[in-house]
Structure 1
Amino acid sequence: MVSKINQVTFDARDGYTLSKFWAEVTGYTEHPKYPNSPEDEENFIGPGGEHPGLLFINVPEGKEIKNRLHLDISPDTTRDEEVDRLLALGATVYEDHRKPDGTGWVTMRDPEGNEFCVERSDAERAAAEAAKGEAS
């Protein structure tokens, strides 16, 4: 037997607002039968509104230490363009691990301080592999 991941849950001061941020990041949507609301204790978004998705639960305490679990995201655009887009949405750069050869990632924080990483896109990885093949 195995278990499936139904959702990844975030404790949040304002789960509704955080769900809106992550919906912009991921393109996930709320479930059409269960729309999110600022008054709700729980706010869910998922691919096509379905599971697995992200659940944001309101809690009274704020985030105080580094996440033990975080999301790694791979953009449709370039990593650097995605970092700029996420900064405009309210994320902040926590640690920049980009290297001169184009590898690496950027650790960012969402508006409530939860860490996540922005990796290179699949296209950037493929281009780097193709360049290695041409150099051989």
Structure 2
Amino acid sequence: MTIQIRHLTFDCTDARKLGGFWSAITGWHLFYDEDPEVIVAKSFPSTEMMLLFVPVPEAKSAKNRVHIDIKPEDSTRDELVERALELGATVFGDHRKEDGTGFVALRDPEGNEFCVERGEHEMASRGPMTIGLKI
């Protein structure tokens, strides 16, 4: 049995504002009508995963149990972090290392955690990485 993940859903207080943030970060389009929900997707309707923003009356009150890891396709990790900060994100953990590896943990304008990693083009310039797994 297989599945398709249709939406990654964010509870939020302002769906259009938060959807606008994620639309700007991803470069995807913002879709909404008279309903309070907002969708951010490459296209709509779509068979690819979309981000769904649903207004709820309560504010975020605890650490996310799930978060998104994103990486740039046409910029660098550091440029994407700067763009996120310009759009209203805040850094809560900077795990970049002197050798260029690492990631940055941020919160979107409503406090949802996400991480920005290096893009494939940044990792390719450093050569292959070996991971040892203990079983």
Aligned to 2:89: 91
Aligned to 2:55: 58
Output the aligned Cα RMSD: 1.4
Is structure 2 residue 46 aligned with structure 1 residue 48?
no
Which runs of at least 4 in structure 1 moved beyond 3 Å after TM superposition?
A: none
How much has 1:48 moved relative to structure 2?
A: 2.1
User: More helix per residue: 1 or 2?
Assistant: 1
AA aligned to 2:89 is A
Q: What is the DSSP-based 3-state SS (H/G/I as helix, E as strand, rest coil) of the residue aligned with 2:22? A: helix
Aligned to 2:121: 123
State whether residues 92 and 108 of structure 1, in contact with CA within 8 Å, keep that contact through their aligned partners in structure 2. Answer: yes
Aligned to 1:134: none
State whether residues 97 and 104 of structure 1, in contact with CA within 8 Å, keep that contact through their aligned partners in structure 2. Answer: yes
State whether residues 16 and 40 of structure 1, in contact with CA within 8 Å, keep that contact through their aligned partners in structure 2. Answer: no
Provide the TM-score with structure 1 as the length reference.
Answer: 0.86
Question: How many residues of Structure 1 are paired with residues of Structure 2 in the alignment?
Answer: 125
AA aligned to 1:109 is R
Provide the TM-score with structure 2 as the length reference.
Answer: 0.87
Aligned to 2:64: 67
